Amino acid sequence: MTVPTLQLNTGHPIPQLGFGVFLVDPAETERIVSDALELGYRHIDAAAIYRNEEGVGRAIAASGIPRNELFITTKLWNDDQGTQSAHDAIELSLEKLGLEQVDLYLIHWPTPKRDLYVESFKALEQIRASGKAASIGVSNFLVEHLERLEAETDTVPAVNQIELHPYHQRPAEKAYGHDHGILTEAWGPLGQGKYPLFELPEITAVAAAHERSAAQVVLRWHIQQGHIVFPKSNNRARMQENFELFDFELTDVEQASITALERGARVGADPREVN
């Protein structure tokens, strides 16, 4: 099964479905990522703060998959914001991943009280120019943060990775991204189990109609919305299920019924408060 790609504003393709390693035990990461790669995933979303980049790197090396067939993301952690710290951080991440370049490097949070995200993004511009990242972007940025980057830096972020699920659909951030050529990546695409998403009749009815799981239906909704998603699972069978999204399609009515679930209900941290 072929995962569709979207085009970043740098011209590089990015697989619309990936595999996330948030909260994956470092001791288990190599095995779990190896399973994902065997099942066909080619986009891995990592971060320095997940403390499992080494396991991701070992899985990549053991896979034998050509580097140009993989899309690897990692992220600059809050404590490493600043010009020199960012340069040091990408070097360490590349060393742990066993790579010469990541496909995408993101600022993990804007951390507004530190007020270093503009300086840090300028460092990411230098990192991209050096060839250590093919594309650069941000994570958890609100419109106010994106507007400041637009005013004070020379590069439009390739992506904004944000909490996004049926109860929290981020229309302002998505609209800004659409208007400025910034793709939207959805973390927590299934709501992290923090509300009964899979029991909602708007979901269960669609799942029954397509003979699919509730998770597959929600992930398919994301795909048809144009989001990039990377569900996380330690279970190989669930990884396989999450991968099987491209041989069915929701109708416009089904899509609309899920979109109508919007509540503005965040289940993760507020980007204005993470510092």
Q: pLDDT for 151-166, tens place per residue?
A: 999 999 999 999 999 9
Of 197, 30, 8, 129, the residue nearest 44 (C-alpha): 30
Residue 200 within a domain = no
Residue 98 within a domain = yes
Structurally, the chain folds into a number of domains equal to: 1
Residue 66 within a domain = yes
Amino acid symbol at 241: E
Q: Is the pLDDT score of 137 beyond 80?
A: yes
CB 227 within 8 A of CB 185: yes
CATH number, domain with residue 36? 3.20.20.100
105 is catalytic: no
- Coil, helix or strand at residue 122: helix
Q: pLDDT for 26-36, tens place per residue?
A: 999 999 999 99
Residue 181 within a domain = yes
User: Which residue bears the tokens 């499992």?
Assistant: 52
Report pTM.
0.97
- Residue of 41, 50, 105, 176 with catalytic role: 50
Strands 13-15 and 5-7 come out as antiparallel
Residue 183 within a domain = yes
